[in-house]
Structure 1
Amino acid sequence: MENAVEKIKVWFRFVPREGWLPQDTEGLWATRLGEDTARVQNAPFLQDGVAEGDVVRFETGADGLHWAAGRVSSSGNCTIRVVPVPSGPLGRSARAVHQRLSAFGLGGEVFSAEFPMVAFTAPAGADFAGIKRLLEQGEREGWWHHEVGCGTEEWWSA
């Protein structure tokens, strides 16, 4: 019998940002790789410095929760967060944000209907320069606000 892939939730702690969401933890789904390592399986909405596909080390607390203790290796993927401007041409539509970025084949998840932030994974080897141009155009034209939650050297130099 093959070993089943064990999915776990790895929790991250951080200081909430002023004027941002009030959470100070975020749980990300991950595939357990070893006793204390796991590969992140989704794009983080709040945690900076980690992207889908990265390997993290964790410690299991007395409460049974797995708490991130640092990144072991980078996947080369980047995390991009986009929030549509409610009064802009896209309105509050996370779907419109997805459609604008669809040419780049980015996977993304929506935070909530009330707060339609989309967290995208820009995979290693993607057209980072093209994605950055479109993100900047969207800012200039009032479509959205964006931030890079996790960028690689390739992202920053594109």
Structure 2
Amino acid sequence: MGLRRCCMLRGEEANAASGMAVDDDCKLKFLELKAKRTYRFIVFKIEEKQKQVVVEKLGEPSDSYENFTASLPADECRYAVYDFDFVTDENCQKSKIIFIAWSPDTSKVRSKMIYASSKDRFKRELDGIQVELQATDPTEMGLDVMRSRTN
């Protein structure tokens, strides 16, 4: 019985660590991106003191992929969604919403752990994600990677 209790306690601690609330603005802005294409991308940040995920940056519909990658800090974790336009082999114009878990190698271990443990819960709040990427450096989320994942 002692071992079972120990494991249950550890599980509760793990859940507490990943218990980041999601600011309503995150869901609202995501719905605007999905339904109205109001934004090209959204960058989300975990505010540790408030224990919640918040919107950090909104990309204009005219913003380029370079604008998006420049919005991700080189040494801090973030979540992001990107509205990726592409042309299929049948020459059809399409779009897919890509979720990116940005976790650069140079970010702090604690930050990587918090983002990793909160990712699934946060992703569930954003209904309509079609592709997910985990990236530790820009090459892991390049346009060629996105194209290969959307086919």
TM-score (norm 1): 0.29
Higher strand share: 1
TM-score (norm 2): 0.30
Higher helix share: 2
